[in-house]
């Protein structure tokens, strides 16, 4: 179990700390329709992750037999972890070189945030997950880690659901606070946006370097190189 969470925690942090998505959540909460659109947006992202878990959990689960018969995570999973490591390094490098944020949705999507309906907010949530290659890899990495842990179906489902909830925990907390303190949450939302604007680059560089190295070591171990 410790090995599983050692793999999941970096993926959770990488999935959760996507500043543009947090900014969209706060913008939706401040828009005309407010909390309902933010909930719909979160529901769209959740639906995609659950769909990925259902479909790719069945596909990648077949590699668990290989993992259980060896000391490492298996070649397919190790290659996926290598891709995750590269993505972390690429993210850190782009932030270091001050390249544009590749996680940002198309400008047309951002323009509609202030007036979006709940139905379109749901579509925006699904769309941003479907077009973001990095988040695809993070989720597939989590599915692979759960499959290799070989815990049994019920425990595997619970572990993946825990990944989904924790990957969306920042959005859940922000929306929860908006519901619990509707008149006082505006200042908090402004503070979140301000914090992300000031420290996003440093956070992404540190996370990319640290977790990129972590997954690189795990991948090379699984491939028998280390």
* Per-residue pLDDT tens over the stretch 196-207: 778 778 888 888
According to the model, what pLDDT value does residue 85 have?
87
In the chain, the percentage of residues whose pLDDT exceeds 90 is 22
According to the model, what pLDDT value does residue 161 have?
95
CB atoms within 10 A of CB 59: 11
According to the model, what pLDDT value does residue 17 have?
82
Q: Average pLDDT of 29-52? A: 90
According to the model, what pLDDT value does residue 14 have?
84
- Give the separation between CA 129 and CA 133, rounded to whole angstroms: 8
Least trusted range by pLDDT, from 47-51, 55-59, 86-90, 151-155: 55-59
On whether the CB atoms of residues 66 and 74 are closer than 8 A, the answer is yes
- Per residue in 174-185, pLDDT (tens digit) is 999 888 887 777
According to the model, what pLDDT value does residue 189 have?
74
Residues in the chain: 226
State the chain's maximal CA–CA distance in angstroms.
Answer: 57
Sequence-ordered list of residues with C-beta below 8 angstroms from that of 25, at least 6 positions apart, any chain = 38, 41, 42, 170, 171, 174, 175
User: For residue 71, what pLDDT band results from cuts at 50, 70 and 90?
Assistant: very low
Tokens 């379109």 identify what position? 120
Whole-structure pTM value: 0.81
- Give the separation between CA 108 and CA 217, rounded to whole angstroms: 40
Q: Average pLDDT of 69-98? A: 76
Nearest CA among 106, 111, 114, 128 for reference residue 43: 128
């Amino acid at each position: 179990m410790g090995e599983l969470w050692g793999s999941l925690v970096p993926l959770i942090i990488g999935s959760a700390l996507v500043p543009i998505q947090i900014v969209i959540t706060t913008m939706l909460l401040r828009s005309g329709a407010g909390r309902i659109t933010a909930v719909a947006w979160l529901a769209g992202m959740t639906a995609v992750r659950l769909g990925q878990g259902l479909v790719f959990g069945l596909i990648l689960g077949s590699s668990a037999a290989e993992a259980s018969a060896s000391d490492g995570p298996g070649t397919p999973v190790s290659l996926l972890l290598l891709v995750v490591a590269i993505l972390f390094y690429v993210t850190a490098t782009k932030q270091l070189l001050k390249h544009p944020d590749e996680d940002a949705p198309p400008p047309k999507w951002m323009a509609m945030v202030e007036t979006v309906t709940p139905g379109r907010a749901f579509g925006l949530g699904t769309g941003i997950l479907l077009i973001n290659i990095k988040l695809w890899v993070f989720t597939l990495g989590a599915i692979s880690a759960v499959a290799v842990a070989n815990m049994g179906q019920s425990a595997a489902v619970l572990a993946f659901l825990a990944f989904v909830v924790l990957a969306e925990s920042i959005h859940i907390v922000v929306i929860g606070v908006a519901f619990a303190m509707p008149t006082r949450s505006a200042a908090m939302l402004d503070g979140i946006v301000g914090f992300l604007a000031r420290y996003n680059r440093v956070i992404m560089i540190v996370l990319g370097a640290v977790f990129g190295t972590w997954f690189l070591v795990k991948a090379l171990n699984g491939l028998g190189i280390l």
